Chain A
């Protein structure tokens, strides 16, 4: 049986609602945060109703059950990206995961003159943490150029990659353009120079199978809420030997072996990096989200989204007043564009009133917009639950924009 988007949509209660009175919601903002299937909210509610307790430290039945459920969620995350459970650190989100590596690994390993390579298409979450640690250590952040079509300039990458490069921190998928970066080539080249690689996989795990062992990546960060899970739970993958050599990021309960006023010693990874009570219910929710994605099939979702992207690209390309940003063949279902000379916020405001929810602005990627020579863009992103009718709704909304904006 083919991909049944109607059955998929029926699992997302939010998609049933209307906005501004009678307008059916057309949700095209999943790159910012995805809607949640009932399986996720049910799992979280069930856990809170039946099993909730703090984890790792209780002697009572509930605490042990909660710990089992929490660690089972870690196991699901590990299996989802082909990692060892000891290599899965729960964080608040991608941003915290990257900050963890920058502050922990960076503070220990970066020296004046060292270089951190990022790209012009990064989300601010993969720029600012490196600027902060560079300022603290005397290292330098350099950005690899992006070509006009949204592809990474690999000549510039190879030119900037050198003996001084200690960390290559790049997006797996651009959150604005949808461009899939050639991460395998990047990792191989970086390792040949002795540099480590961190991938910001926030926009990748939702659209494609990510296998950390096949990639041989050193660190990989992503967040749960874009993968149909709850907010407040993110993931840092790190090779165990690297994590084990890193000092703690935050100090507190649950991450220590011993504490005295002469000093403290710390647990092994991943617990060393999970100070305090973790996001227990959210981890359960993330585990349920992974179960849901695996049940549908990430490859099936990717194929469905590719069909939507092709349909939307074809329709928008046919309009002579639409400029699409990011036209590489290797692209997931994230579509940035502008309508004529109209400001993205004017377009977004009108689309919103037609029921189309999407993102306008710089999408936390100001350097990329500077590179593209635009202030802001309109971004439509398609997920497992979107349909061709949603694309048609976007096209109809753009017609209203043309009518009102001239």
Chain B
């Protein structure tokens, strides 16, 4: 088997996807969005909890999807935790604009730009163009969630 395929299927992505340690729905979500890949039927639902100032405090997801989609959602969840722990966040929240910027960075990384910090494992997906949508599906759900506001 070629090195690209071996790298993809022996990468941390599969380990992350098999563990699914951060997969959960948020009972107190303020925003929810879902995305579906019409080619394979994969679906992911993303819950967000935003505070009164619009800062992102928590993210949960539930996926019926392939390993790359789940791994992407795991990386996203862990990124939020890291951001909240960093000095750059305000009172443990992350501005939605930062999430939008991250989505764009991931998209560009799949096209050849440098991966954003924490998403280096996605480099193994780059040669597999037919699978890029698997990685971006959680971000599509996030984008839809940010347009949603629970009543």
Contacts and interface: CB of A to CB of B under 8 A. Distances in A.
A406 to B, nearest CB: 9
Interface residues of B, number: 22
Contacts of A361: 39-41
A369 B5 CA distance: 28
Report, nearest first, the 3 A-B pairs whose CB atoms are least far apart.
A343-B66, A404-B9, A375-B41
Given A344-B40, A346-B9, A404-B10, 17 more contacts: A20-B2, A21-B2, A343-B40, A345-B66, A346-B66, A350-B9, A353-B1, A362-B39, A362-B41, A366-B38, A369-B41, A375-B42, A375-B64, A376-B40, A376-B42, A404-B1, A404-B6
B42 A349 contact: no
Contacts of A21: 2
Contact of A354 (B1, B40, B66, B134): B1
Interface in B130-151: 130-131, 134
A395 to B, nearest CB: 16
B41 A345 contact: no
B40 A360 contact: yes
Interface of B: 1-2, 4-6, 8-10, 38-42, 64-68, 128, 130-131, 134
Chain A at the B interface: SS class: helix
Contacts of B10: 404
Interface in A4-49: 20-21
Contacts of B68: 345
A353 B3 CA distance: 10
Given A400-B1, A404-B9, A405-B9, A349 B131 contact: yes
Most buried by B among A343, A354, A404, A405: A343
Contacts of B38: 362, 366
A281 to B, nearest CB: 30
B84 to A, nearest CB: 31
A127 to B, nearest CB: 14
B42 to A, nearest CB: 6
Contacts of A366: 38, 41
A267 to B, nearest CB: 39
Nearest to A374: B41
Contact of B128 (A349, A404, A405): A349
Nearest to A354: B1
Interface of A: 20-21, 343-346, 349-350, 353-354, 360-362, 366, 369, 375-376, 400, 403-405
A404 B2 CA distance: 12
Contacts of A350: 1, 5, 9
A366 to B, nearest CB: 6
Given A346-B9, A353-B1, A353-B5, A376 B41 contact: yes
A77 to B, nearest CB: 31
A354 B1 CA distance: 7
A399 to B, nearest CB: 11
Contacts of B1: 350, 353-354, 400, 403-404
Contacts of B66: 343, 345-346
A177 B8 CA distance: 30
A73 B6 CA distance: 49
Nearest to A21: B2
A275 to B, nearest CB: 30
Contacts of A353: 1-2, 4-5
Given A346-B67, A349-B131, A404-B10, A375 B2 contact: no
A26 B1 CA distance: 16
A182 B41 CA distance: 29
A399 B146 CA distance: 43
Nearest to B131: A349
7 contacts: A349-B130, A354-B1, A361-B41, A366-B38, A375-B40, A400-B1, A404-B1
Nearest to B2: A353
Contacts of B131: 345, 349
A375 B42 CA distance: 7
A337 to B, nearest CB: 15
Contacts of A346: 9, 66-67
A36 B38 CA distance: 28
A319 B127 CA distance: 31
A346 B1 CA distance: 14
Contacts of B4: 353
Contact of A343 (B5, B8, B67): B67
Contacts of B8: 349
